[in-house]
Amino acid sequence: MVKAAVVTMGCRVNQAESQSLRDQLSGAGFELGEPMGADLVVLNTCSVTGRAEKEALSLLRRLRRQNSAGFLVAVGCLAQLSSQKLVGPELAYLALGQEDKEKILAFVPKNFAPIISSSSRPSSPELDRQLFPTRTRALLKIQDGCSQGCSYCVVPLARGPSRSSPPEVALARLGQLLENYREVVLTGVHLGHYGLEKGLDLGQFLALIHKTHGHKPNFRLRLSSLEPLEVGLVYEALNYGWLAPHIHAPLQSGSDKILKRMGRPYLRADYLTMAQELTARFGPIALGADVLVGFPGETEEDFAATYDLLANLPMSYLHVFPFSPRPGTLAANWEPVAEPVKKYRVNLLKKLNDFKKAEFLKTQYPLKHLALVENRLDAEGRARVLTGSYLKAVWAHPQNPPPNSLVWARLEPPDEPGLPPKAFPW
């Protein structure tokens, strides 16, 4: 049997699309497995940062060395933007843009001759049914593209404008996934813009989910990310019981000056109001943020404004990224912040992240948690579980619950610092 492998970089949208690629290849008769020894190897690339681009090139070289006989194809955002960079004697044989990757087998030549193929046509959010046989959480992509136009972001160039799956299609696919999974993550490049071109919003779509599936007590949905001004769309759904108490809302900067330069549609006070209202309504809910450090023009005062805001917000974790200029964006032409300064600021926020995670965990010990049991064990044979508030724990009761199930649990501190908390039956 002909063998194939799909390797993924980047965000949850990429992960969902990679699973659709696997479904496509499996349906065509390929046996799916690891890159080593595969006849066809597909790398789904990311272009969000300069580091991601370097990692893609390095990974292509490694895949080519490890499997010189296999046909290596690069797809995804970086292939959409810079196909020529990805094809060469030590790189991929073929590079496909966003739409063409959905019909990859039409482009793989029988003689395996090097070809470059790229397209500016954006992908469709209506991908094939996504099944994740080795996972206990499924990803459902319901939106693609972004029309926001931030000055630093290459995503609109790589994925095109915002567009959504029809609600009836998304609901049907969710129903299929709930036959096999207890948790599904709704993903999109700009998830909060879901449905706008179809005359509905994300909150209304979640209400449709509640009407269709809310009577089933054995599932949980999680949202991948929401812009700060869009969090209010899901307030009602957070009361349904099946939506995870977990909001990821990018901040990027706590300085109004920098937010305006970034082209972000909110100010510092807007994020503060959102976080305070979220906590007032729902208690110690998980709130995570992306933070972009060292944006061109960021002074000590601007960074201090970011640090102080985050230090005083009820954050549960931070994803900290150094600014990386991306070709084709406005910010790529602006005077950069010195690398040592950028690195110093990143390290300060990473230390703050460690503190925030520890403080948030303390608020979670008294609570009753709905935890998803994963399908793998730790080194001691204990089940791993994931709470709705996005905390990973180990099952400390003598009897492990079955994998891919939801259980009510309480958390206790770990036996040693640095280990995950312990989970017991509630």
10-residue averages of pLDDT along the chain (426 residues): 90 88 86 92 90 92 91 91 88 87 77 42 50 71 93 91 94 94 95 93 97 88 97 96 97 98 98 97 96 98 98 97 94 96 98 97 96 91 96 95 95 91 96
| Paired tokens of 373 | 């049991």
pLDDT of res. 162: 93
How do residues 193-230 score in pLDDT, each as one tens digit? 999 998 999 999 999 999 999 887 789 999 999 999 99
Specify which residues 291 forms β-bridges with.
Answer: 252, 320
pLDDT of res. 108: 80
Using DSSP, state whether 249 is helix, strand or coil: coil
Distances (CA, A) of 319 to 101, 262, 379: 29, 18, 28
- For the entire predicted model, the pTM comes to 0.85
CATH class of the 137-363 domain in this structure: alpha beta
Closest CA to 188 of 228, 222, 236: 222
With beta carbons less than 8 A apart as the criterion, state whether 79 and 86 touch: yes
Instruction: Give the span between the Cα atoms of 130 and 17, in whole angstroms.
Output: 8
| Paired tokens of 228 | 């700060």
pLDDT of res. 129: 44
pLDDT of res. 114: 41
pLDDT of res. 324: 93
Instruction: Give the span between the Cα atoms of 400 and 309, in whole angstroms.
Output: 41
Query: What residue has token string 């503060």?
Result: 272
With beta carbons less than 8 A apart as the criterion, state whether 309 and 291 touch: no
CATH class of the 3-106 domain in this structure: alpha beta
